[in-house]
């Protein structure tokens, strides 16, 4: 009995640690969203608080949904997973239909819901794919079925195009396959096939090929294809060790593309410096380590796979965002979890937190 009470206390402490780290990131996100969006908000809406006020709404809604989801049994989530996956796949296809989906900057990824509110189905797909894969891998059924459906999802993402999300979902799927105990030979073969397919897609598209060339030589076209990464590196370089100070970024004045979303970490680097962004990275590491501890202590196969998948996709997306902005990998547009501005992404991330908290605190 005493051992059980001790275990419950440990789980509660872990949940508290997760929440403390989460709210540190959310609080930092509020500050950085305001700092990075003030120029654009003033120019477009005449209100420098426009984006941060909307972000506060998404944060509040996300916390509420996280709390609700943390009360839902994982057995219900398991039963609901195939339906959510099917719905997200339909939405992902629907966004490609002219008149239904909205296009911006050469991509078609959003549904316009009115009052400047957009919904991005690819964010829901990240969550639903993990939920669906956890069920199939636990049951050890034929792998061909989920792989075919995953291939359809990746194909739809490439059409948008959203290569960053395709990479995140594929990498998360391989992580879950590894943890599920699939033969290494099978996993290696699939990784090889996907790698070759990714390279083929990259060289077959002039847009993606330019991004690879920019990665290999960021100085080749500073006012064209490598403009984004150059502006990000300028931001980091300007920040130095200690940063210019909160609110003093120069790159946010519409030099740095997507300053409040995909590139928000570069603004943080400019204002907080190397020391500041190192602290941010350490908070992420501590948070994700707590996530994976939830998976490590879980005895139920399905719940373990679910925790690994959810932890994995958040970790991988963070690595992709940071790697893109620091020229460690080709530039790929994905938001930084819990910090970047964006309703769809933040809401889905908070739902993910709710599921992880449920797994941590209960056995069903």
**Any bridge partners for residue 111, and if so which?**
101, 119
DSSP of 119-175, one letter per residue? E-HHHHHHHHHHHHHHHHHHHT--THHHHHHHHHHHHHHHHTT-HHHHHHHHHHHHH
pLDDT > 90? residue 8: no
- 344-359 confidence digits (pLDDT tens): 899 999 999 999 999 9
- The pLDDT assigned to 6 comes to 60
Euclidean distance between CA atoms 154 and 23, whole angstroms: 32
CB 302 within 8 A of CB 78: yes
Rounded distance between C-alpha atoms, residue 11 and residue 293, angstroms = 10
pLDDT of residue 7: 60
Whole-number pLDDT of residue 313:
94
What one-character DSSP code corresponds to residue 182? -
Closest CA to 336 of 111, 120, 107, 33: 33
Element (H, E) at 255: none
Q: What is the Cα gyration radius of the chain? A: 20
Tens of pLDDT, residue by residue over 174-186, are 899 888 887 888 8
Residue 101, beta-bridge partner list: 98, 111
pLDDT exceeds 80 at position 27 = yes
Q: What is the pLDDT of residue 85?
A: 93
Greater confidence, 180 or 24? 24
150 Cβ contact partners less than 8 Å away, ≥ 6 residues apart? 129, 133, 169, 170, 173
**Which of 28-42, 66-80, 197-211 is predicted least confidently?**
197-211
Per-residue pLDDT at 188 exceeds 90: no
Query: Rounded distance, CA 305 to CA 311, Å?
Result: 10
Q: Token digits for 339? A: 């910090």
Mean pLDDT of 138-166: 81
Residue 3: its pLDDT value, please?
52
Q: What confidence tens digit (pLDDT) does each residue in 281-293 have?
A: 999 999 999 999 9
* 93-130 per-position pLDDT tens digit: 988 888 787 777 667 787 887 777 788 999 999 999 99
Cα(15)–Cα(58) distance, integer angstroms: 22
**What is the reported pLDDT for 306?**
95
Q: Which residue would you say has higher pLDDT here, 85 or 212?
A: 85
Lowest mean pLDDT among 2-16, 38-52, 120-134, 213-227: 2-16
Buried b / exposed e along 269-286 (16+ C-beta atoms within 10 A):
bbbbbeebbeebeebbee
Is residue 26 predicted with pLDDT exceeding 90?
yes
Closest among 355, 335, 248, 265 to 58, alpha carbons compared: 335
Using a pLDDT cut of 90, give the percent of the chain over it.
49
Contact 151, 175 (CB under 8 A): no
pLDDT value, residue 193: 83
Does residue 41 contact residue 51 with C-beta atoms inside 8 Å?
yes
**Alpha-carbon gap, residue 263 to 229, rounded angstroms:** 9
Question: In terms of pLDDT, which residue wins out, 321 or 221?
Answer: 321
- Is the model's pLDDT at 2 over the cut of 80? no
| Residue 130 and residue 306 in contact, taking contact as beta carbons nearer than 8 Å | yes
What distances in angstroms separate CA 317 from CA 68, 102, 254, one per listed residue?
24, 24, 25
What would the mean pLDDT of 314-319 be, rounded to a whole number?
96
* Structure confidence at residue 216 as a pLDDT band (50, 70, 90): confident
Question: Rounded to an integer, what distance in angstroms lies between the CA atom of residue 203 and that of residue 215?
Answer: 14
3-state secondary structure of 46: coil
């Amino acid at each position: 009995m005493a051992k059980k009470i001790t275990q419950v206390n440990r789980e509660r402490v872990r949940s508290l640690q997760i929440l403390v780290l989460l709210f540190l990131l959310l609080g930092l996100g509020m500050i950085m969203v305001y700092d990075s969006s003030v120029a654009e908000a003033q120019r477009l809406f005449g209100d420098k608080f426009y984006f941060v006020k909307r972000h506060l709404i998404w944060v509040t809604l996300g916390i509420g949904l996280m709390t609700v989801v943390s009360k839902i049994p994982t057995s219900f989530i398991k039963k609901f997973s195939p339906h959510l996956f099917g719905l997200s796949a339909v939405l992902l296809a629907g966004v490609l239909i002219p008149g239904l989906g909205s296009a911006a900057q050469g991509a078609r990824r959003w549904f316009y819901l009115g009052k400047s509110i957009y919904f991005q189905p690819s964010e829901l797909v990240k969550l639903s794919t993990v939920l669906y894969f956890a069920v199939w891998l636990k049951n050890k059924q034929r792998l061909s079925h989920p792989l075919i459906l995953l291939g359809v999802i990746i194909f739809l993402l490439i059409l948008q195009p959203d290569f960053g999300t395709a990479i995140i979902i594929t990498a998360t799927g391989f992580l879950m396959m590894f943890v599920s105990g699939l033969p290494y030979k099978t996993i290696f073969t699939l990784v090889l096939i996907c790698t070759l397919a990714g390279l083929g897609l990259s060289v077959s598209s002039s847009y993606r090929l330019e991004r690879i060339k920019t990665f290999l030589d960021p100085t080749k076209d500073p006012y064209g294809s490598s403009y984004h990464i150059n502006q990000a590196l300028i931001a980091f370089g300007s920040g130095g060790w200690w940063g210019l100070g909160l609110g003093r970024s120069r790159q946010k004045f519409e030099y740095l593309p997507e300053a409040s979303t995909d590139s928000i970490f570069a603004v943080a680097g400019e204002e907080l410096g190397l020391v500041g962004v190192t602290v941010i990275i350490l908070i992420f590491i501590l948070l994700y380590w707590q996530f994976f501890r939830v998976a490590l202590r879980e005895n139920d196969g399905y719940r373990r796979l679910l925790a690994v998948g959810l932890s994995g996709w958040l970790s991988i997306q963070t690595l992709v965002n940071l790697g893109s902005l620091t020229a460690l990998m080709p530039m790929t547009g994905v938001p930084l979890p819990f910090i970047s501005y964006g309703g769809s992404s933040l809401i889905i991330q908070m739902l993910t937190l709710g599921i992880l908290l449920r797994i941590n605190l209960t056995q069903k």
